[in-house]
Amino acid sequence: MDRNDAFAELCRSEREAILAKWNAAVFATYPLDTAGFARTREDQFRNPVGHAVRLALEEIYSSISGQLSSETLLRDALEMFIKLRAVQDFTPVRALGVMYLLKPLLRERILPACLHDGLLDEYLEAESRLDTAALLACDIYVASRERVFEERIGEIKRQHAQLVRWAQKKGVAVHDAD
């Protein structure tokens, strides 16, 4: 077994434990009433957000651990996850900081075995993939927030136009601020 295969096997063996802790840490960033619902309802129809988060975290972990080599799949998973957080009531740090909640879990569950088995380079590559994924998540977040703000501006413009039309029908003089 070569070093990459040994690292991949180690990541597979720790997958469930790491994902369980990462899911719990991500859901802990939500308000208590939301987090409780998201944690306890795993049905994709009763809790589509929680289901989407779980799926995204699984794909992201697979990519970070080197088990998923497609950048397209990583980007899709990040988009599913980060777009949800971009429309929720999170500061940018809280929205994106969840990516780095994985790092201490990797250090706790993967790093000791890597040090023991001489797989430090493979471990550092995984942390580098996490950093790269977090930067990609920043791009996705910014684009998603821009879209949200564009939608809000469009809605305000539509409301303004409706008010102007209503005022004109009522005979009120309207000075256009354009």
Residue 32: pLDDT over 80: no
- Give the Cα separation of 87 and 147 in Å (integer): 10
Q: Binning pLDDT at 50, 70 and 90, where does residue 35 land?
A: low
pLDDT at 109 over 90: yes
* C-alpha to C-alpha distance for 105 and 119, rounded to whole angstroms: 17
DSSP state of 88: S
| pLDDT tens-digit readout, 116-147 | 999 999 999 999 999 999 999 999 999 999 99
Q: How confident is the model at residue 101, as a pLDDT?
A: 96
Q: What share of the chain is helix, strand, coil (3-state, %, to 5)?
A: 80, 0, 20
What pLDDT is stored for residue 67 in this prediction?
Answer: 84
Whether the predicted pLDDT of 41 surpasses 80: no
- pLDDT tens for residues 55-79? 999 999 999 998 876 888 899 999 9
Distance in angstroms between the alpha carbons of the first and the last residue of the chain: 69
pTM over 0.75: yes
